[in-house]
Amino acid sequence: MEPQLSWYLALSAVLFTIGVTGVIIKRNVIAMFMCIELMLNAVNLTFVAFASFFQDVVGQLFVFIVMTVAAAEAAVGLGIIIAIFRNRESLDVDDASILKL
């Protein structure tokens, strides 16, 4: 017996939900950022599983592009985090609830 497609999809759903839960309950903005990365990876697993089971390369191209977007998000997001920390001296998201530095 080999791992089935539904197993990978279920694993991806579990990882995605853990990421969503982390975004909801975390207060540290860097921890929320890492939970978003976790959600992106869960979706990547879905793409690769479908690409493998359908024998289609497009899914893996999507994963490639998602990784690039995640890298861009990391650069800009961490820049924003540093800017917020300079102004607020805090990383709590509740301290940065107004969109004004």
Q: How many residues bind to other proteins according to rule CB under 8 A?
A: 70
88 binds other proteins (CB under 8 A): no
Indicate the DSSP class of residue 2: -
The separation between the first and the last C-alpha atoms of the chain, rounded to the nearest angstrom, is: 57
Question: CA-to-CA distance for 77 and 30, rounded, in angstroms?
Answer: 9
DSSP lists the bridge partners of residue 92 as: 28
Which residue lies nearer to other proteins by CB, 35 or 98?
35
Q: How far is the CB of 96 from other proteins (least distance, A)?
A: 13
Structure tokens at 33: 């950022």
Looking at 57, 97, 98, 99, which residue binds other proteins (CB under 8 A)? 57
Binding site for other proteins (CB under 8 A): 1-11, 13-15, 17-22, 24-28, 30-31, 33-35, 37-38, 41, 44-45, 48-49, 51-58, 60-61, 63-65, 67-76, 78-83, 85-86, 91, 94
